[in-house]
Structure 1
Amino acid sequence: MKTKLTKLFVCLFALCTLVCANAAAQDKKADKKKKTAEVTFVVSMFCENCKAKIERHIAWEKGVKELNVNLDKKLVTIGYDPSKTNEEALKKALEALEYTCEKPDESPTESK
Structure 2
Amino acid sequence: MISLKTFLLALLVLLTAQVVRAQDKTKTKVKGPTTEQFQMKTSAVCDMCKTRLEKALAYEKGVQEATLDVPTQMLTVAYRPDKTSAAVLRTAVQRTGYDADDQPAEPRAYDRLPDCCKKTNAVHSDGAK
- The normalised TM-score by structure 1 is 0.66
Percent identity, please.
21
**Stretch of structure 1 that moved more, 90-99 or 4-13:** 4-13
Indicate whether 1:17 and 2:22 are aligned: yes
Using the alignment, how far apart are the partners of 1:71 and 1:58 within structure 2? Answer: 16
Mapped pair 1:52 → 2:57: no
Between the two structures, name the one with larger relative contact order (CA 8 Å, sep ≥ 6): 1
Higher helix share: 1
Q: Which has the higher strand share?
A: 1
Count of residue pairs the alignment pairs up? 97
Task: State the shift of 1:72 in Å.
Answer: 4.2
Q: Which runs of 5+ in 1 are unaligned?
A: 104-112
CA RMSD of aligned residues (A): 2.4
Q: TM-score, normalised by structure 2?
A: 0.59
Give 4+ residue runs of structure 1 displaced > 4 Å after superposition: none
Partner of 2:37, secondary structure, is strand
What residue in structure 2 maps to residue 86 of structure 1? Answer: 85
Larger radius of gyration: 2
Q: Which runs of 5+ in 2 are unaligned?
A: 1-5, 103-129
